[in-house]
Structure 1
Amino acid sequence: MTEQRSSPTTSGTTASTGDDGGARTGVAALVLLAACTALAQGLARYSFGPLLLPMREDVIRSYAIGGLLATVHMAGYLVGAVAGVRASARVAPLWLIRTGMAGSVAGLAVLSFSTGSAMVGAGLFLTGMGGALVWLAAPAVAVQVYPCDPGRAIAIIASSMGIGITLGSVVPALVPAVGGWRAVWGIEAVSVLVVLCVSLLLLGSRPQVSARAEESGGWRPDRRWIWTVVAFAAFSFGIGTGMTFFVAALRDGAGWTVRRAGATYSMIGVAMIAGGVIAERLSRSLGRMPVLVAQFVLAAASMFMVATGMGPVVSVAAVIIGTTMSGTAAVVSADLHDRYSPQQMAAAFGLMLIPLGIGQMLGPTAGGWAVDLAGDPFTAFMLCGAVMGAGLLPLVIHGCRRTRRAQTPLITGR
């Protein structure tokens, strides 16, 4: 089937692509977008897992409460996704990014002054909502500011989350140096605020997609999109849970030191940096769906690998988790770009975030409940692996049926 790629300037965009000056401006804007994604969708959202241990000694008393707070965070993500989808028909994507960055700053500020679980929940809710708004709009803006290679632009944005997660993995080491976990959240708030201010200065004149209510007209969910969403939601269920309990489970369940568990956790972020670019490149030659399915399978297997508690196996699992986190996002976004216009892609991707948010919202609570019930921190990872595998089956069956139908004329024609 021939891929349909839309012109990046078909929606009122006037981005320059012809000269070196325009290309340099596009690269600079893409780097700044990647920084926004790294901080709002990476650092601000995934620091809670590494900081769960010091926070547990202060304001969080059990895995169940930790899971509940992670669920509150994902509820914020879901609210942000729904609000972003509704607002995207009326406002420019860049406005959503700025609003999301502002929400992340507010949430991190609340966390830096929190004195109890309620304030922690409020801060996590805001960071979740901010991350959703940034991630909803970032791929579409990336295609607009770097139209010469949309697939690579999307992959870079997806991989940039790994930089934020890598930075988040070292925050436990900063706790004693800066005076506690609250100071760490404060440092993150200042960092996001700085990038927000820079984006206001440098991205203010960047071309944007014109806001029209009819932008997503003509798009309807097809079976491929539906089963991709089911598999992606199950994947998000597992990733949201695994990232929440990764460090704590290795310490409490396998006797690892916090430093060793944090170092292994950092491998997730490092792998994410390369995962999006590698997966998107492979999917160009091997096909979007085969590469996506392979990533989902590996991610489900990695959950069971973490549950072994064995150093080398867990390290390999961390690399798989990181690679697939950015890789799946890059391949899904690129597949939507191949099949739809930019406006339809934004609608399809935005609606996809809602069930993904539900999966990530349910996962930590279910995982925390399973851990407290079984008394084994690794129970959460076994639950994740099972859910991720089950969610993948419909997409695999759909892909097999499509392959069989595509081969039928060749067979009958012989």
Structure 2
Amino acid sequence: MRRPPIALLSGLGILCTLVTVVFARLAYGLVLPTMRADLGLSYAEAANLGTVTAMGYLTLLLYAGVFAGRFGGKRAIMTGLALAATGFLMLSVVSAYGWLLLAMVLLGFGTAFAFTPLISLLGSWYPDRRGTVIGFANSGVGLGILISGALVPALTDAAGPAAWRLVWGIFCISAVITLVLVTTLLRDPPRHSEAVSMRHGLASIYRNPHVVVIGAVYGIVGTTYIVQTLFMYSFALESQVNPITAGRLVAIMGLISVFAGPAWGRAADRIGHANALLICMLISFVATLLPVLRAETAVFVLHYILMGASISGLFTSILAASTSTVKPQHAAMAVSFVTVFFALGQLLGPAAAGLLIDWQQDFRLTFGVSSALLIIGAILGRYSRKFVTS
């Protein structure tokens, strides 16, 4: 069977990532202020909406991998996009809190069903250029952050208090368009005759030390990345960085990551996924440690530049490495397995960081701990090379 053009797969990967990762999960923080004010939600209720999305995502991660192995990645991605579109549509029209909770759960389900099968499908079509196609797909995160960061404030200024409904409506339209494109243009790679069951598939993953080590590294990345996303901006403001400058630094990080993802993917295919992972982990370590040592504007500029240059490389290298030592029919399950570690890190990281910040009334200890975790991740990344060469 002739492989689809890499440009087509990369474009569809970018769109799917933009819709199911950025619009369905990351953009909630931008929509939240006007949504909370218009509906009269408490901060606890607003936080619970984000929590149920994460729980929905975590709950179906492994099943989504099994589903993709049995019925094909394309069908799983279509299911995920349909669930996300339904959640977006509900958010654009409902006001009752119970319905809002259901809508946010659907967004989590959608991300689980779409993103991890997407990564395994891309890698299965181009195993020799796995890092490149996954890198392009991950660049959709940076692109989505830029789009969301421009779209949400502009609509809020133009449409007033109810602008958040319009935002969710636009996200719904984008999900439907992406679903149509995926249905029309995306193809599954050749199927394997060996049946895929959760019991046998997970048993093979559990017994694969390379996948387990990569999962541990991804858990560290999930923990440190969410802490950086939530608290580094506040750390910059506490360090007397101008708020406008701090906001621009975040945007610069997103812009750099758009181009860094494909670049790291191509580099990983040439020098090895484990080597690329090690380099990116060390860059992230330096970026995280710098503000701990000297908290001033120039240092934060360097931090955001280095993070923009490395974070996409971390995601790309990890996701590509997770499927490099498993059977093709188990690839989706391997991606889902390591992503469980990432999701758990994202659940536990903010709570632990919040406790440390409240205890010290300072951010340095929190990011010092993050730096230590990144060094452990670098060591594990280097250790993972032995399983690939053997």
The reply to whether TM is greater than 0.5 is yes
* 2:21 is the alignment partner of 1:44: no
* 2:119 is the alignment partner of 1:131: no
Note if contact 2:16-2:178 (Cα within 8 Å) is conserved in structure 1: yes
Q: Which amino acid aligns with 1:282?
A: A
2:335 aligned to which of 319, 332, 349: 349
**TM norm structure 1:** 0.76
Distance 2:300 2:253 in 1: 11
2:319 aligned to which of 310, 318, 333: 333
Corresponding position of 1:184: 167
1:197 aligned to which of 180, 184, 188: 180
Change (3 A) 1:300 1:143: same
Q: Which amino acid aligns with 2:24?
A: A
Deviations 1:101-153 (A, max 9, x none): 12222222333346476655544333232122222111222234556733322
Corresponding position of 1:359: 345
Q: CA RMSD in A?
A: 3.6
Q: Which amino acid aligns with 2:273?
A: R
1:69-218 pair list within 5 angstroms? 69-113=49-93, 115=95, 121-146=101-126, 149-170=129-150, 171-179=152-160, 180-203=163-186, 207=189, 209=191, 212-213=195-196, 216=201
May I ask how many residue pairs the two structures share in their alignment?
A: 378
Shift of 1:276: 2.2
Q: Which amino acid aligns with 1:40?
A: T
1:196-275 pair list within 5 angstroms? 196-203=179-186, 207=189, 209=191, 212-213=195-196, 216=201, 219-245=205-231, 254=240, 256-257=242-243, 260-275=245-260
Deviations 1:172-227 (A, max 9, x none): 34321233333222222222222212322333x65553583269485554434323
Distance 1:332 1:368 in 2: 27
Note if contact 1:265-1:318 (Cα within 8 Å) is conserved in structure 2: yes
Distance 1:225 1:386 in 2: 25
Note if contact 2:142-2:255 (Cα within 8 Å) is conserved in structure 1: yes
Deviations 1:243-298 (A, max 9, x none): 345656656875744x6544332223222222222223333454432331332233
| Higher helix proportion (structure 1 or 2) | 2
Shift of 1:92: 0.8
Shift of 1:306: 6.2
Q: Which amino acid aligns with 1:347?
A: M
Deviations 1:323-349 (A, max 9, x none): 433211211233244433322333322
Gaps of 5+ in 2: none
Distance 2:365 2:218 in 1: 18
Corresponding position of 1:411: none
Change (3 A) 1:293 1:147: closer
Change (3 A) 1:144 1:293: closer
Distance 1:311 1:70 in 2: 31
Q: Which amino acid aligns with 1:177?
A: A
Change (3 A) 1:85 1:208: same
Corresponding position of 2:376: 393
Change (3 A) 1:153 1:369: same
More moved, 351-360 vs 223-232: 223-232
More moved, 28-37 vs 285-294: 285-294
Change (3 A) 1:218 1:375: closer
Distance 1:67 1:312 in 2: 33
2:276 aligned to which of 291, 297, 300: 291
More moved, 194-203 vs 334-343: 334-343
Change (3 A) 1:82 1:222: closer
Change (3 A) 1:236 1:36: same
Shift of 1:400: 6.1
Shift of 1:240: 2.4
Change (3 A) 1:350 1:57: same
Change (3 A) 1:140 1:197: same
**TM norm structure 2:** 0.80
Change (3 A) 1:119 1:320: farther
More moved, 189-198 vs 90-99: 189-198
Corresponding position of 1:319: 305
Distance 2:291 2:83 in 1: 33
Corresponding position of 1:8: none
